[in-house]
Chain A
Amino acid sequence: EPEVTQTPSHQVTQMGQEVILRCVPISNHLYFYWYRQILGQKVEFLVSFYNNEISEKSEIFDDQFSVERPDGSNFTLKIRSTKLEDSAMYFCASSRRRDSINEKLFFGSGTQLSVL
């Protein structure tokens, strides 16, 4: 079965450093998302991306965050200057959504980001 692939599985960085989290969505999917889950808290929406532009973003997704689809397969989340509170599991997701919003979300296994 096709799956969403995320790399790396773990990332440790120093506060103030830039990090790029990478995702390869399912190949025929059109909508891409980033969510995050801080330890012990709910899964939170960060951003949705369609047709090479952001469709919607949350209050969390401030100027320190950016997303990009640099080629036909990768989807990246960049955090420019990491803060301690950015430590979380970051999930990439994708959905097919050709004709309807009612398509299942497929999630990757996540990247555990630890900011020291």
Chain B
Amino acid sequence: KQEVTQIPAALSVPEGENLVLNCSFTDSAIYNLQWFRQDPGKGLTSLLLIQSSQREQTSGRLNASLDKSSGRSTLYIAASQPGDSATYLCAVTNTNAGKSTFGDGTTLTVKP
């Protein structure tokens, strides 16, 4: 059974800092890994999707890496801003039917 773990559970940084969020998964037989952002009371927004054959994806100030063999992914946020404050979720897709297993998330607070 796939288990997804995210550390740290919470992170508070001053504006402008670069930061790294971590995600690990137990079963490396995945189709892809997605990083999502969740704002309080809102749905999930997909930030980046890394296919199992890829090593990284970039979008603006975000860079996600994937090391499938070790079961790890990182989300790097450059030059953090207060608007980046949210919960970041990592999810791996395990089956061809698209079932995704989520981690608990990292709650990020960026202080002005």
- A positions within 8 Å CB-CB of B: 4, 31, 33, 35, 42-45, 48, 50, 55-56, 58, 91, 93, 95, 97, 101-110
Contact = CB atoms under 8 A, between A and B. Distances in A.
Contacts of B95: 56
Given A42-B103, A42-B104, A101-B93, A109 B42 contact: yes
A31 B98 contact: yes
Interface size class of B (residues with CB under 8 A): 20 to 34
25 contacts: A4-B43, A35-B100, A42-B105, A43-B44, A43-B91, A44-B102, A45-B99, A45-B100, A48-B99, A55-B98, A56-B97, A91-B44, A97-B98, A101-B31, A101-B32, A101-B93, A105-B44, A105-B46, A105-B91, A105-B98, A107-B36, A107-B43, A107-B45, A108-B43, A109-B42
